[in-house]
Amino acid sequence: MERFQEHRDKAKKNLKIADHMLTVTFPLVKDSKLLLAVIENLFLSYTNAMASILHYERLFKRIPPFQDTFESKFNMFKEKIVNKHKIDKEYLKEVQDIRDIILEHRKSPVEFRKKDRFVICSENYRIKSVSADDIKKYLYKAKVFIQVMDNIVKKNEGLFR
């Protein structure tokens, strides 16, 4: 199995996990801390989808080599892939927003739950809150992005069976 296929499968798996956690587990448990796990799985889904497209393009030597870091992949994707495949730039904003939530969560000294929201406070008391409704919007866009990625890498997949 080629690397782009492995990343594609991981992206789909992370998306399924995020969807299940948000639509099945969260309504049962009602613990807003689960929302962070959903966000992390969405981020993994996006990054694996980007990696899948990048490795697919690299396999055909259409892009230069890139490092295996988020910044490197994100920049290469933004510079070389988005315009070539006419991918909506809104997805880049979504990935950046989700990444910002995760980074703020890791750096935050104070976090708490308030009803159906998870609130993250920074050191200078800036507040970022995440609700299930916010994440449902991210999830919907991630599903569409995964479909876009799947359409791109399926073009020549018959060559790799």
Q: Where are the domains of the chain?
A: 3-107+133-160
Whether pLDDT at 157 is above 70: no
Mean pLDDT of the chain: 92
Do residues 39 and 101 make contact, with C-beta atoms less than 8 angstroms apart?
A: yes
Distance CA 31, CA 37 (A): 11
Q: What is the CATH number of domain 3-107+133-160?
A: 1.20.120.330
> Any idea what the Cα angle at residue 95 is, between residues 27 and 99, rounded to 5°?
75
pTM of the model: 0.93
What is the pLDDT averaged over residues 141-154? 95
User: Which residues, including other chains, have CB under 8 Å from residue 83's CB and lie 6 or more apart?
Assistant: none
